[in-house]
Amino acid sequence: TNIQDTVPKRMADTYREAAVSITITTLTDVLAFYLSYGNPFGSVQSFCLYAGTAILFCYFYNITFFGACLALNGRREGANRHWLTCMKDGLKFILSAVLEDLTTITQELRRSIQ
């Protein structure tokens, strides 16, 4: 998606592209597994019930929670925050902390040598 667009517009574009195919695939898979529940073997019945339900839960996860994570990531991108620390200039913050630690260690080594 275009990074200059707003997060709701980017999410709408993402769902417009992916939601239909995800929904169709999920419905056909769940339908196939639930129809196979009519098999006379108990182990196959258990597997089909479990697999169909698991696919259904994965679908709801992808539509809700994963979408929310994508929206939060879009807001992070829009605020130009670091990918790991979510802080402005996060890399500079990490590097300055490492440099400060190295300076302290170097000073301690110099004192112990003298």
Q: How many CB atoms lie within 10 A of CB 52?
A: 20
pLDDT at 93: 65
pLDDT at 100: 83
What are 88's strand-pairing partners?
Answer: 81
If you average pLDDT over every residue of the chain, what do you get? 87
pLDDT tens track for 33-65: 999 999 999 999 999 999 999 999 999 998 999
Mean pLDDT of 55-83: 89
- Burial degree of 74 (CB within 10 A; 0-12, 13-18, 19+): buried
What backbone phi and psi angles, to 5 degrees, belong to 88?
-65, 135
pLDDT tens track for 11-39: 899 888 888 999 999 999 999 999 999 99
Confidence of residue 101 (pLDDT cuts 50, 70, 90): confident
pLDDT at 113: 82
Distance of CA 10 to the CA centre of its chain: 16
Q: What span, in angstroms and rounded, lies between the C-alpha atoms of 20 and 76?
A: 27
What are 81's strand-pairing partners?
Answer: 88
Encoded amino acid at 105, one letter:
I
pLDDT at 3: 78
